[in-house]
DNA sequence: AGCACGATTAACT
DNA sequence: GTTAATCGTGCTC
């Protein structure tokens, strides 16, 4: 049974680890020319404050990181490796820089459009990486710093399915190869997978 | 002004 | 397992 209730600012104005965990199972929606492109978030990572040496805010407030210092519930979309856009959602109170990186999604709406943007790729690989998500959902820097809690927002989140703790795994974050400990290994990545998850998704028709 | 590198991906051996 | 692609950002000179 699908719920269409949108996540409000209160959801994002909380500790980042809690937001990252609870985003698992919610639906990300990109309203593109009025058409819904959507899917269930399966993997997310927390980036928390200037002390976190894996977080971009370790460099302090710059033009790029400014949005992380702003209100929770805004997008932080940045460009990396010269070719990929990555989508984050800003968390915690205004003034404290933190965000959640959306790393993996199970595509559920406008799959024909997603398929065409991921030509030759099997469905399970359409959106199983942060750069793949933005490619499939057509998200880029023009959508940086938008309020996902505003009525009619182009990007927003909806209550989706309930994912029990028994099928949520916590691991170190991915790709922080030159980040010092303890930040490199701290388990701030949340993901869900497996047969039990597939059953939950299959029942949400 | 120059430089090293990255919250990645796809295509290799 | 390794590596190229490709460019904005932040740091150093």
Q: Which nucleotide is nearest to A80 (CA to C1')?
A: B6
Question: Please, which positions of strand C sit below 7 A from a protein CB?
Answer: 5-11
pLDDT at A1: 55
Domains assigned to chain A: 9-200 (3.10.300.10)
Cα–Cα distance between A4 and A1 in angstroms, integer?
Answer: 10
Q: Report pLDDT for A199.
A: 97
Which pLDDT score is estimated for A132? 98
Report the alpha-carbon distance of residue A43 to residue A21 in Å, rounded.
9
pLDDT tens string for chain A (205 positions)? Answer: 555 899 999 999 999 999 999 999 999 999 999 999 999 999 999 999 999 999 999 999 999 999 999 999 999 999 999 999 999 999 999 999 999 999 999 999 999 999 999 999 999 999 999 999 999 999 999 999 999 999 999 999 999 999 999 999 999 999 999 999 999 999 999 999 999 999 999 998 6
Taking C1' of B9 and every protein CA, the nearest residue is A131
Contact between A160 and A24 under an 8 Å Cβ cutoff? The reply is: no
pLDDT of residue A3: 56
What are residue A114's phi and psi, to 5 degrees?
A: -60, -45
A50: Cβ–Cβ under 8 A, 6 or more apart, which residues?
A: A57, A58, A60, A97
Element at A156 (helix H, strand E) = strand A155-158
Q: What is the pLDDT at residue A35?
A: 97
Give the ranges where chain A is alpha helix by DSSP (H). 9-12, 16-23, 111-117, 130-137, 195-203
Rg (CA), chain A: 16
* Distance from CA(A5) to C1'(C2), angstroms, rounded: 46
Of A11, A20, A24, A80, whose CA–CA distance to A48 is shortest? A20
Say what the pLDDT of residue A2 is.
58
Residue A29 CB partners (closer than 8 Å, separation 6+): A36, A37, A38, A109, A155, A156, A157, A158
> From CA A148, how far away is CA A157, in angstroms rounded?
7
User: Whose C1' is closest to the CA of A86: which nucleotide?
Assistant: B7
Nucleotide nearest to A126 (CA to C1'): B9
Strand B nearby residues, CB < 7 A = A 45, 47, 54-57, 76, 80-84, 86, 88, 99, 101, 103, 118, 121, 125, 129-133, 173-179
Nucleotides of chain B in contact with protein CB (under 7 A) are 5-10
Note the CA–C1' distance, A5 to B4, in angstroms.
45
Beta bridge partners of A12: none
Q: Straight-line distance from CA A102 to C1' B4, in Å?
A: 27
pTM of structure: 0.97
Beta bridge partners of A190: A44, A170
Phi, psi of A158 (to 5 degrees): -125, 150
């Amino acid at each position: 049974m699908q719920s269409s209730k949108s996540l409000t600012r209160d959801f994002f104005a909380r500790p980042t680890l809690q937001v990252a965990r609870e985003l698992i199972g919610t639906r990300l929606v990109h309203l593109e020319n009025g058409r819904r492109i959507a899917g269930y978030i399966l993997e997310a990572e927390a980036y928390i404050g200037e002390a976190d040496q894996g977080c971009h805010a370790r460099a302090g407030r710059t033009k790029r990181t400014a949005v992380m210092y702003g209100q929770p519930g805004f997008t932080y979309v940045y460009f990396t490796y010269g070719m990929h856009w990555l989508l984050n959602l800003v968390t915690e109170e205004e003034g404290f820089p933190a965000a959640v990186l959306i790393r993996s999604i199970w595509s559920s709406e406008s799959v024909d459009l997603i398929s065409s943007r991921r030509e030759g790729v099997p469905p399970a690989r359409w959106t199983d990486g942060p750069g793949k998500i933005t490619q499939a959902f057509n998200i880029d820097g023009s959508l940086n710093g938008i309020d996902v809690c505003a009525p009619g927002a182009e990007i927003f989140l909806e209550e989706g399915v309930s994912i029990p703790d028994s099928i949520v795994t916590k691991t170190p974050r991915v790709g922080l190869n030159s980040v010092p400990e303890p930040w490199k290994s701290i388990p701030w990545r949340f993901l869900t997978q497996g047969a039990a998850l597939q059953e939950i998704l299959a029942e949400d028709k």
